[in-house]
């Protein structure tokens, strides 16, 4: 069944149809929340809340816009609010690496660990941006959104999006330079698997 | 050394024409600041673009579906609370405006006197009504009393019966709704 039909059924109150939409869009919504908030528990809560808000306001959805754009816009606004509310930095247990016995179902633990390390380095960089700038960067580079789309999603003018992106790129480049990300990223590309 | 417009060309990612590209390349050969900026930004961009999409843990949509009932209930509680807050606020505003209008004009003793007067008036009104009813009951013939009490009890029974049916139908509808879910 096409997305439009699921949507129409969901708008008419069909819970199963909306669950189908949750199934379809869970990854992009969760990924946005994870990139914005930086830990799995908060991302899960934020993604669940995004779908609940979408479900509750489904009648207000403008069918001229792609459904995923609407969902991402709800998720971005929710995460920005969460970030603004969070004044005190909290340490989450998930942020510390686990040293449990290796799971045999994971094909390459070393690769998983490396990926986790890179993710955490990337998150600590992106985390330095203010929430709205961070949302703009995430939508631009992870979701390939145009400046117009980002503007619609974050309720900003196109010139505001452009200036936010410019400021964010500069900040990220400066932070990366000071964190030695450039040499690390070059080294990672050339290092041997044993190292 | 001037870094404009080179910084903007590096950071804005706008397509450059041939002359601009040549100009930028020449500048980068001589300017370590802009060269660093370009390398750093390209490294960050590469990292962002190579990061995979994070997947939620399995069963995300089932967890969402399972939480739906609780979320609905919490939402209803929130709505109800909101309605009560509105009612209480309106009542408080009305009382406050009445107090602002009337309190400066009358003293506290006068307020007490009028409350007592109202209570006395209410009780004397009730006793007059009781007297009137008993007077009517004494004048009406007994068969009229029996007939009117039968009519009254029949009307009451029908009302209670209809009320019971509507409550039963509403509760049945609710059960069917949750069964469907």
A6-25 pLDDT per residue, tens: 899 999 888 899 999 999 99
Q: Is B44 on the interface with A (CB under 8 A)?
A: yes
Contacts of B37 (CB under 8 A, 6+ apart): A170, A173, A174, A177, B7, B10, B11
Residue A29 and residue B175: Cα distance in Å, rounded?
34
What's residue B116's pLDDT? 95
Nearest CA in chain A to B65: A19
Amino acid A108: pLDDT: 62
Whether B146 has a pLDDT exceeding 60, the answer reads yes
Question: B162 CB contacts (<8 Å, ≥6 apart)?
Answer: none
Task: For residue A193, report the phi and psi dihedrals to the nearest 5 degrees.
Answer: -60, -30
pLDDT (average), residues A18-38? 94
Helix intervals (H) in chain A: 3-11, 15-37, 40-56, 67-85, 109-126, 131-141, 147-154, 158-179, 181-190
B39 in contact with A at a CB cutoff of 8 Å?
Answer: yes
Residues 6+ apart with CB under 8 A from A26: A47, B56, B60, B61
3-class DSSP state for residue B64?
helix
Query: Is the confidence at residue B39, as pLDDT, over 50?
Result: yes
Cβ of A181 within 8 Å of Cβ of B46? The answer is no
Q: How far apart are CA B92 and CA B89, in angstroms?
A: 5
Distance of CA B84 to the CA centre of its chain: 10
- Model pLDDT, residue A190: 45
A3 alpha carbon, distance to own chain's centre:
22
At B180, phi and psi to the nearest 5?
-60, -40
pTM metric for this prediction: 0.66
Largest CA distance in chain A: 57
Per-residue pLDDT, averaged over B131-141, amounts to 88
**Residue B154 touches partner A, C-beta closer than 8 Å:** no
CB contact (8 A) between residue A27 and residue B46: no
Who among A27, A30, A185 is closest to B43 (CB)?
A: A185
Pairwise CA distance, residues A47 & A79, whole Å: 9
- Per-residue pLDDT reduced to its tens digit, B53-104: 899 999 999 999 999 889 999 999 999 999 999 999 999 999 999 888 877 7
Among A135, A141, A124, CA closest to A161: A135
What are the DSSP E strand ranges found in B33-157?
none
Distances (CA, A) of A103 to A106, A107, A117, A184: 6, 9, 18, 28
What gap in Å lies between CA B14 and CA B8, rounded to an integer? 9
Cα B50 to Cα B64: distance, rounded to the nearest angstrom? 29
Distances (CA, A) of A6 to A24, A74, B146: 11, 19, 65
Spatial distance between the Cα atoms of B40 and A169, rounded to a whole number of angstroms: 10
Question: Closest approach of chain B CAs to the CA of A62, in angstroms?
Answer: 23
Q: N- to C-terminal Cα distance for chain B?
A: 69
Asked if residue A73 lies in contact with residue A153, where contact means CB atoms within 8 angstroms, the answer is yes
Chain A: closest CA distance from residue B57 (Å): 8
How far A57 CA sits from the closest chain B CA (Å)?
A: 13
Across the interface, whether the CB atoms of A43 and B56 are under 8 A apart is answered yes
- Contact yes or no for A26 and B60 at CB 8 A: yes
A83 neighbors A37 (Cβ within 8 angstroms):
yes
Residue A193 has pLDDT above 90, yes or no: no
- Asked, as a colleague might, if the bond just before B5 is cis with ω within 30 of 0, I would say yes
Prediction ipTM score: 0.72
């Amino acid at each position: 069944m096409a997305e439009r039909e699921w949507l129409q059924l969901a708008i008419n109150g069909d819970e199963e149809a909306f669950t189908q939409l949750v199934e379809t869009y869970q990854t992009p919504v969760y990924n946005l929340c994870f990139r914005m908030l930086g830990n799995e528990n908060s991302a899960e809560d934020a993604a669940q809340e995004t779908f609940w808000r979408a479900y509750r306001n489904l009648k207000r959805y403008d069918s001229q816009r792609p459904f995923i754009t609407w969902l991402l816009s709800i998720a971005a606004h929710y995460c920005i609010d969460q970030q603004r509310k969070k004044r005190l930095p909290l340490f989450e247990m998930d942020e510390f690496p686990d040293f449990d016995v290796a799971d045999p179902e994971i094909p390459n633990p070393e690769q998983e660990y490396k990926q986790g390390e890179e993710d955490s380095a990337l998150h600590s960089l992106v985390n330095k941006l203010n929430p709205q700038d961070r949302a703009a960067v995430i939508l631009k580079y992870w979701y390939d959104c145009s400046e117009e789309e980002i503007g619609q999603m974050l309720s900003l003018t196109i010139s505001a999006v452009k200036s936010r992106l410019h400021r964010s790129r500069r900040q990220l480049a400066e932070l990366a330079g000071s964190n030695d990300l450039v040499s690390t990223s070059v080294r990672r590309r050339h290092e041997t698997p044993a190292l | 050394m001037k870094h404009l417009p080179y910084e903007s060309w590096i950071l804005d990612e706008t397509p450059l024409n041939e002359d601009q590209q040549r100009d930028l390349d020449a500048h980068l050969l001589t300017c370590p600041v802009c060269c660093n900026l370009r390398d750093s930004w390209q490294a960050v961009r590469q990292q962002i673009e190579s990061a995979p999409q994070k997947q939620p843990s399995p069963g995300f949509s089932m967890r969402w579906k399972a939480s739906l009932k609780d979320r609905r209930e919490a939402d209803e509680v929130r709505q109800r609370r909101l309605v009560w807050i509105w009612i209480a606020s309106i009542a408080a505003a009305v009382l406050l405006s009445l107090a602002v209008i009337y309190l400066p004009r009358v003293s506290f003793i006068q307020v007490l006197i009028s409350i007592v007067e109202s209570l006395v008036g209410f009780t004397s009104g009730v006793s007059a009504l009781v007297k009137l009813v008993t007077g009517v009951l004494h004048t009406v013939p007994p068969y009229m009393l029996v007939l009117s009490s039968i009519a009254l009890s029949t009307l009451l029974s029908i009302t209670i019966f209809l009320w019971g049916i509507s409550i039963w139908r509403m509760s049945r509808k609710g059960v069917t709704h949750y069964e469907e879910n």
